[in-house]
Amino acid sequence: MASSPSPDPRPAVVLHGGPVALPTLLGNGTNGTPRLPTGGKIRAGIKVLTRRAAEVPRAQAIYDQGLNQGQSFDQIERALAEACPELKSPLVPRNVPWFTVRAQDFPNPELATQILDLHGEDRGEGRRLYRFPVVFPTDRWQSVMPHELATWGAQDKRFWSEYSTDGRWRHCMTHAPVPVDATGRRTVRLFGGRKAIPREDNGGLCQPESCPEYQQRQCNLTGRLLFFIPGIRSISAFELHTRSFYAMNAAIRTFETVAFLRGGRLAGFLDRQGTPFYLTKRLMEVAHIDDHGRPVRVPQWIIELEAPVDVATLMREQDDQDTVLLQADGAARVLQGHRKSASSTPGKGPESVDEPVAASDSTADGMPPTLEHVLGRLAAMGVPAQTWMSYAATRWGPGWKLNPQGRARAFGELERFRNDPKGYADKVNAELQQVAS
């Protein structure tokens, strides 16, 4: 008697709206989150010579030559370190009202020229990039604005923050020591790079108030925006780095407001007229605590994410989409009823159909579901409400409860899984773990 085949040991990954897929060796990242390839950096400011470095003629010449040749500030700093080793940290950041676009910050230097030609302005200091349009490739703001607390060494990151899968704890991570073989003389060849582990000396928890690196200003908040620029032909996204808490916090508020008004959508243009987001800078008074514990306000140019769109237009377009969905649902029911009538034998009722009819996203009376309908179906399935609400906000956007289209989608999904509550609970938990990782 032949033995039954052993189960496939490879884990399966369920894709949205698709069949079960098997992960590949290189196609399944450590956290399952797709990473966008980047095609260049736009910088938030500039770097200038320190007062001491500016007094050294050779350093000034190297700096001026680097600017004229379109070199990045990292390249200029390396050249200064080689030519003037006596100067420690010869460049310092300077806050300016424009963004820096340099050819050497792009794998294809022509892209820098195209961006300045298309969106640059001359306001008396040469052609600069003061404001430019952007579109985002995904509806999750966490994916287009990744950020962390991080401590950098001479070559790479020493420590960085990561949240636990449930989002409750912020961990302090570091690179694991490179293992050695049994002889103790040769390092083990690693596949996929160095491994990340929780930092041992602080219990693996990220607590800035008790962190020596953070208190010594070695660990700082760092983030970046990932976007495409309309009119610039590049399949890779561009990135803009920032360390400003104010800029990132304000961008999150803009993202959440737009997602609420657009039924959870951030990707693409904002309306049918092709209105994009815009990135610009605004002069603000920023408060911080000085070394003596006193509040101080200083003026700074802060990155600002604009969404210059008529809110009434967004709401009207959302209503139009809801009307189309309801009309399509009604038409599908009419066609479905016609098909059933055609399959009836004269003198007999409709013949039984083996295929189950797909569940509608509307209630039994044909009306769009209310929030009470959705929560009632959720309670009947026994799925924890708090967990599911977090999942729903991720899947359909934070404004799904107030949006008829969002409620219909949620109700329809619950209807489709009503006979498999355990499987659905597993799906919800898996989605939340993927988002948090």
pLDDT at 365: 55
In a domain, 23, yes or no: no
Of 3-17, 70-84, 88-102, the poorest mean pLDDT is in 3-17
Segment 39-44 mean pLDDT: 92
Query: Is the pLDDT score of 357 beyond 50?
Result: no
- Among 168, 196, 224, identify where a domain stops: 224
Write down the mean pLDDT value for the chain: 80
In a domain, 427, yes or no: yes
pLDDT at 362: 54
Query: Is the pLDDT score of 350 beyond 80?
Result: no
Highest-confidence segment of 32-41, 63-72, 96-105, 332-341: 96-105
Domain that holds residue 203: 145-224
- Please give the distance of CA 365 from its chain centroid, rounded to a whole number: 39
In a domain, 414, yes or no: yes
- Among 224, 254, 285, identify where a domain stops: 224
In the structure, what pLDDT confidence band is assigned to residue 344 with cuts at 50, 70 and 90?
very low
What's the per-residue H, E or C state across the chain? CCCCCCCCCCCCEECCCCCEECCCCCCCCCCCCCCCCEEEEEECCEEEECHHHHCCHHHHHHHHHHHHCCCCHHHHHHHHHHHCCCCCCCEEEECCCCEECCHHHCCCCHHHHHHHHHHCEECCCCEEECCEEEECCCCCHHHHCCEEEEEECCCCEEEEEEECCCCCCEEEEEECCCCECCCCCCECCCCCCCCEEECCCCCCECCHHHCHHHHCCCEEEEEEEEEECCCCCCCCEEEEEECCHHHHHHHHHHHHHHHHHCCCCCCCCCCCCCCCEEEEEEEEEEEEECCCCCEEEEEEEEEEEECCCCHHHHHHHHHHHHHHHHHHHHHHHHHHHHHHHHCECCCCCECCCCCCCCCCCCCCCCCCCCHHHHHHHHHHHCCCHHHHHHHHHHHHCCCHHHCHHHHHHHHHHHHHCCCCHHHHHHHHHHHHHHHHC
Q: Domain total for the chain? A: 2
Q: What is the pLDDT of residues 287-301, one digit of tens each?
A: 777 777 778 888 889
In a domain, 55, yes or no: no
Segment 223-239 mean pLDDT: 93
In a domain, 46, yes or no: no
> CB of 132 within 8 A of CB of 115?
yes
- Among 204, 224, 244, identify where a domain stops: 224
In a domain, 81, yes or no: no
0.85 cut: is pTM over it? no
Query: Is the pLDDT score of 122 beyond 50?
Result: yes
In a domain, 235, yes or no: no
Backbone angles phi, psi at 46, to 5 degrees: -130, 170
pLDDT at 118: 96
In a domain, 367, yes or no: yes
Instruction: Report CA dihedral (49, 50, 51, 54) to the nearest 10 degrees.
Output: -30
The pairing of strands 38-42 and 237-242 is parallel
What is the C-alpha separation between 310 and 315, in angstroms, rounded? 9
- Please give the distance of CA 335 from its chain centroid, rounded to a whole number: 41
